[in-house]
Structure 1
């Protein structure tokens, strides 16, 4: 029922498109992925204007599918599955439609807002690096990868909620996307290590004399506590200035909620201590609902 209201608000009346966008909503509802991307995606979607929600569902459902191909299933099949999905995505844009409901909705969203295909291509490039994983030598290298991976979603959010590119705030939103990824790295550290991936920059490990082999073997050392605190501070130290710079932009209430969301998560990662190596950081949902509720109320009744 709610999805129908959002489709009505967006002026999407074609029965095929309405079905495709509804499939996107189901993809997201059934997603059990990373703590940052998909928990925040669900909460944030309820804080957007109703007319923007179907389009963000298409963007997020597509990213969710791509992420699943890059991160789950037999390792030897990931490259093939991701490449096939990337090819199907490019083909859908080439002809302007697809028999795949998620791709058909995504093409419609991008055509509606005149969004460049390069955003999606950047995301696939970043995900390919995940499949062919190699350690990140520096924080700058991690940041560049995070921007490629996440700008697809953030650019979609800016365009669909404001009907403009908001060029002046995009560099700030890129910085926010990096902070989201750093938080995701901390919260999902244990699962990534299980998958043979260490996202923390090697230069940071060197700074605190943490041996990569110890971290990859999940052998906790006292220095790791300082390392985790340092990475958490990368997020919390940058958020106040970033919020101030975005204060008068159309997305200020939304980005403020994102910032508070990140604070709660990194605090939980620091508090987890050595448990951060053995299980994902998943704090209780209620505090997150409480911080998003005022933004959600601003778009009631939809």
Structure 2
């Protein structure tokens, strides 16, 4: 059914393309070429995608319209960026073709979009070192735009939007540095992202973000930097947010982590037993058979519910 629909859409697009060419409607022609390429990709005819995308590029280049060229190159990259195959082809459009034009034309918003897309794409392709470069640029642009908004306008919604973009950039940088095993930098940027969260928290999604990031920080400090004292502090913050949210599974995980730390590292029998009992209560409520607080398994995913406690 989808195949027939795509073929029908392709026939209509090609008919429109012929009309746009005859009428000299250059922009409509370019996007018709691009649309046909996108449909060929959905049909799995990848050899034709490049041909139609290349034809689309040639149209704005012949006009000399910088904005037109920039927009179409980004849209062409999006075809590959949003696909399940040949995603790496988007890098050429974003980094090698569109980004230099955006820099030259001083288009900050386009640069920000391109850098964010490149950072995400390179992250997915596990090219973490290259992704960091674009994530840093995106963060710098987000900061400058946010400061400019604060100085030039009084619209609170716009300032909040820029702050959110800045937080996303910091969070992405933190994730990249964690993948690169640069744990101190990962901690630094996670904390910068948390500093940009709204206060007081108004929505469950914001509280859940606190839970996840503080738990991630605890895992970094505990599992990678081997500092159970500081890790306990982050786990306590995550637990407080999880209690506000009423998320019992998160509370189970965090109480298990804290029981592990107090039992094996800080050696506080009273606190260890307190958090172990709380974890047991959550485990019973969630129908989890047994919990594990052995020191060597806590950083392995899914292993904290396998063996008995102290």
Please confirm whether the aligned pair reaches a TM-score higher than 0.5, indicating the same fold: no
TM-score under structure 1 length normalisation: 0.31
Q: Which has the higher contact order (CA 8 A, sep 6+)?
A: 1
TM-score under structure 2 length normalisation: 0.30
- Higher relative helix content: 2
Query: Between Structure 1 and Structure 2, whose CA radius of gyration is higher?
Result: 2
